[in-house]
Structure formats: structure tokens, C-alpha cells
């Protein structure tokens, strides 16, 4: 599996996941929206840890810096 996520992309995803988690635990979001948002946050964290986003693959997107 070839990595396709750069550092900035990973940091943004982690920050969004943290914000979603904070919103959930402070009861700012609840119900189905909260469950969906938490699932998205988990996916963001997972994809950041493995540096690979499967949705980028069909579109040929890579936010990683080009190696020389």
C-alpha cells in the first residue's frame, strides 16, 4: 500500500477528529449526527495513522511531497 497523505493532511484530519470528540463529550452534538461524526473522526484518525486514504486512490490524489 503506497502512502498518499502528507503531513499537513494528517494534522488537519487529527485536529478535526479532536474537535468532533470534544463536541461530543461536551454534549454539543448528539443522536445520529454524533454517531456519524464519531465514525468519521475514527476514520480520520485511522487514515492519518496509516498515511493512506482509499478515497484518494480512484482520483489519483496525493498530498504527499514528491520524492526526488
Determine the pLDDT at residue 17.
98
DSSP annotation string for 22-50: HHHHTTSS-HHHHHHHHHHHHHHHHHHHH
Domain count, the chain: 1
Please report whether residue 58 resides in a domain.
no
H or E, element range at 17? helix 7-25
Residue 2 has pLDDT above 90, yes or no: no
Q: Could you list the residue range(s) of the whole structural domain that residue 36 is in?
A: 7-50
pLDDT 10s digits, 40-66: 999 999 999 999 999 998 998 889 988
Please report whether residue 67 resides in a domain.
no
Mean pLDDT of the chain: 93
Please report whether residue 63 resides in a domain.
no
Determine the pLDDT at residue 48.
95
Please report whether residue 65 resides in a domain.
no
Q: Mean pLDDT check: name the lowest of 20-29, 32-41, 58-67.
A: 58-67
Please report whether residue 62 resides in a domain.
no
The pTM assigned to this predicted structure is 0.87
Amino acid at each position: 500500500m503506497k502512502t498518499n497523505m502528507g503531513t499537513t493532511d494528517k494534522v488537519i484530519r487529527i485536529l478535526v477528529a479532536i474537535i468532533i470528540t470534544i463536541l461530543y463529550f461536551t454534549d454539543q452534538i448528539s443522536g445520529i449526527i454524533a454517531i456519524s461524526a464519531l465514525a468519521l473522526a475514527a476514520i480520520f484518525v485511522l487514515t492519518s495513522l496509516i498515511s493512506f486514504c482509499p478515497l484518494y486512490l480512484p482520483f489519483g490524489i496525493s498530498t504527499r511531497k514528491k520524492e526526488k
